[in-house]
Amino acid sequence: MQTAVPRLSPRIQENELRAYALLIWRWLWLILLCTVVAGITAFLTSRLSTPIYQATATLLINEARSPSAASYTDILTSERVASTYSQMMTQRPILAQVADDLGLPPDIWETDITAIQVTSVRDTQLVRVSAEGTDPNLVMTVANTLPAIFIDKMQEIQTARYAVSKQNLQEQLAFLETQIADGKTQIDAMGPPQSGADNLTLSRLEEAQTQYQSSYSGLLQNYETLRLAEAQSVDSISVVEPAVLPENHIRPRTLNNTLLAAIAGAMLALGVIFLIEYLDDRVRSPDELSAILGAPWLGVIAAMPDVDEKTFDSRRLITQQQPRHPISESFRTLRTNLQFSSVDTGLRSLLLTSASPGEGKTTMAANLAVVMAQAGRQVVLVDADLRHPVQHKVFEVRRSPGLADALLGEEMTPLAYLQPGPLPNLRILTCGHEVPNPAELLGSRRMQELIQRLQEEVDLIIIDSPPVLAVTDAQVLGRLAQGVLLVVDANTTSRNEVIRAAEAMRQVNIPLLGAVVNRLSTSSRGYYYYYHSYYQKSYYGDGGQGEGGPDQNGASPPKSRGGLRARRSSVATPD
């Protein structure tokens, strides 16, 4: 039963911790760079900043009328009053009076004193007054002066409510004192009464004196009651802890700032890394490629060193020119995996294509043909990319006559158009002359007959076709081959392109043998290549001869199917 191709690309089916660890390891240089730059910047900024000192005084505010028996409601009210006073203490009139009393300029709050903070301590009646500035003596003086001035100011405001009443009572008491003094003087001046009129006058004066004294006593009692009410209504504000001279500055905290900045730089780098990875739509690994296609990945080919991607010449035949190179061994691993993928029927014809142009399918087809020929098989490489042919440049042979000439000729004799390759059992069928209708020519009956004639003469036909998403040539040629190998560039191919390429082939019932990841580099997503390259280098060393490659004289090795090659196939081929 064939597995359906998922519409959305799944993430890598591997241990998530390992995936994150590899991701961080790959971007470790950026994390370290951001961490170091942020830490150094914070360190230099802190060292060059002016030190700031802080002095703090603590006040106790009690609003309760009866301190000896304060209720819970009185305490809650005191907390609200403390919060209110915290806001009032930093108002401009209070600060201006502090500067005036200390003989400081009015702009002191913007220069030497950098901040005044008044905060109420939660669930208490305490208020902390903090002054911050560049001079430790100045901040201590301000922290102690501000509460004193505020206490005097609040007492003045609160006592002003009773000033009028007290003044009226004092005036009335003074009047009565005057009347009482005058009455006493008159009584003393009369002396003993001499007549009935004197007795009547004395009685009237004594009666008036008694009334004045009674009124005076009443007013005096009212005055004392008013003073008591005034004393009980004024909030109690006292300094419980005065400010002391600060010995150390509170800012900048060089060590803390450096550590926090380094951590922030590392977190910023991680955020950028994960954003880049999230926005990166390329195929992340061979395992993910297999999950997208619903078919196995059959090989991983690293990026070829010292090869210009825009130039096609014999330097691309790395399997012929450098048979001991690890990349050459990767092609031999691909060869083995292809043989095992069709072990029952035998691989007779293979089509190589890609989703988009420039993914390296031409180089892949050329080197795969070489390693197949090195294994002793009779191989024909057909350059069926009639729109952009380059195989004749890679093998340095003539372009025509070739495939187009064989299809347009009067007689079907494809063997006459084959050109010798770098190995005796490898021949090349180049594209031939340019034609105006490549798709119709490749889908013709003569093309089917040509492939059948070649299959009768050789062991394997490798067909290099155009990209499947660019033109329909690959879909037409795919029906003539036994299987299709999709080449995916690890640096440029997106997951959406791979999905569309797979769907395009399955729509016309083209058998997809698998895919091969091309140009995988250790600097991008090469976690598999780390292992694969290390495995080969540790086995071959600098002077070993890769199995399956030609010796120094160009001779082909024996056709052994077991031994190390089979074991390496079990390593490279996913379950």
The answer as to whether 123 is a domain residue is no
Which run of H or E residues covers position 463?
strand 460-464
Cα end-to-end distance, the chain, whole Å: 17
> Is residue 380 within 8 Å of 417, Cβ to Cβ?
no
Cross-sheet strand order for the sheet of 113-120 = 113-120, 126-133, 53-62, 236-241
Q: What is the pLDDT of residue 175?
A: 84
Number of Cβ atoms within 10 Å of the Cβ of 467: 22
If asked whether residues 273 and 291 sit together in one domain, one would say no
The answer as to whether 319 is a domain residue is yes
CA 204 – CA 201 distance, rounded (Å): 5
If asked whether residues 398 and 332 sit together in one domain, one would say yes
If asked whether residues 366 and 349 sit together in one domain, one would say yes
If asked whether residues 275 and 291 sit together in one domain, one would say no
Q: What is the pLDDT of residue 536?
A: 45
Q: What is the pLDDT of residue 528?
A: 45
If asked whether residues 175 and 296 sit together in one domain, one would say no
The answer as to whether 192 is a domain residue is yes
Instruction: Identify each DSSP E strand in 291-383 by its residue range.
Output: 297-302, 349-354, 379-383
Q: What is the pLDDT of residue 465?
A: 94
The answer as to whether 464 is a domain residue is yes
CA 417 – CA 405 distance, rounded (Å): 8
Q: What is the pLDDT of residue 575?
A: 30
Tokens of 121: 């301590």
The answer as to whether 69 is a domain residue is no
If asked whether residues 218 and 295 sit together in one domain, one would say no
- Can you give the residue range of the structural domain that contains 324? 286-550+564-572
If asked whether residues 338 and 368 sit together in one domain, one would say yes
Q: What is the pLDDT of residue 410?
A: 74
Tokens of 283: 């195929």
| Burial 154-177, CB ≥16 within 10 A → b, else e | beeeeeeebeeeeeebeebbeebe
If asked whether residues 475 and 413 sit together in one domain, one would say yes
The answer as to whether 497 is a domain residue is yes
Instruction: Give how many domains the chain has, as a whole number.
Output: 3
Number of Cβ atoms within 10 Å of the Cβ of 343: 9
How far, in Å, are 109, 126, 130, 144, 239 from residue 58 at the CA level? 21, 7, 9, 9, 6
Question: By C-alpha distance, which of 573, 537, 492, 110 is closest to 283?
Answer: 492
Q: What is the pLDDT of residue 213?
A: 85
Tokens of 547: 């199995």
Q: What is the pLDDT of residue 42?
A: 95
How does pLDDT run along the chain (575 residues), one tens digit per residue? Answer: 444 444 434 444 445 777 788 888 989 999 999 999 999 999 999 999 989 999 999 988 776 455 444 556 666 666 677 778 778 888 888 888 898 888 888 888 888 888 889 888 887 778 899 999 999 999 999 999 999 998 888 777 777 777 777 788 888 888 888 888 888 888 777 777 777 777 788 788 788 888 888 888 888 888 888 777 766 666 678 899 999 999 898 989 999 999 999 999 999 999 999 998 888 888 877 777 888 888 888 989 988 877 766 677 778 899 998 999 999 999 999 999 998 877 666 789 999 999 999 888 999 999 999 999 999 999 999 999 999 999 999 999 999 899 999 998 877 688 889 999 999 999 999 999 988 889 899 999 999 999 999 999 999 999 999 999 989 899 999 989 988 999 999 888 888 899 999 899 888 888 888 899 888 875 544 444 444 444 444 444 443 343 444 443 333 333 333 332 333 333 333 33
If asked whether residues 385 and 459 sit together in one domain, one would say yes
Q: What is the pLDDT of residue 389?
A: 92
If asked whether residues 203 and 264 sit together in one domain, one would say no
CA 128 – CA 59 distance, rounded (Å): 6
Q: What is the pLDDT of residue 5?
A: 41
Place of tokens 């010796």: 551
Q: What is the pLDDT of residue 32?
A: 96
Looking at residue 511, which CATH number applies to its domain? Answer: 3.40.50.300
Angle, CA 221 vertex, CA 217 and CA 225 arms, to 5° = 170
Tokens of 18: 């390992």
What sign does the dihedral 46-48-49-50 (CA atoms) show? positive
> Is residue 129 within 8 Å of 56, Cβ to Cβ?
yes
The answer as to whether 63 is a domain residue is no
If asked whether residues 343 and 394 sit together in one domain, one would say yes
In sequence order, the β-bridge partners of residue 488 are 517
Q: What is the pLDDT of residue 526?
A: 43
The answer as to whether 59 is a domain residue is no
> What predicted TM-score, i.e. pTM, was given to this entire model?
0.59
If asked whether residues 213 and 326 sit together in one domain, one would say no
Q: What is the pLDDT of residue 210?
A: 86
Dihedral over alpha carbons 306, 312, 313, 316 (to 10 degrees)? 50
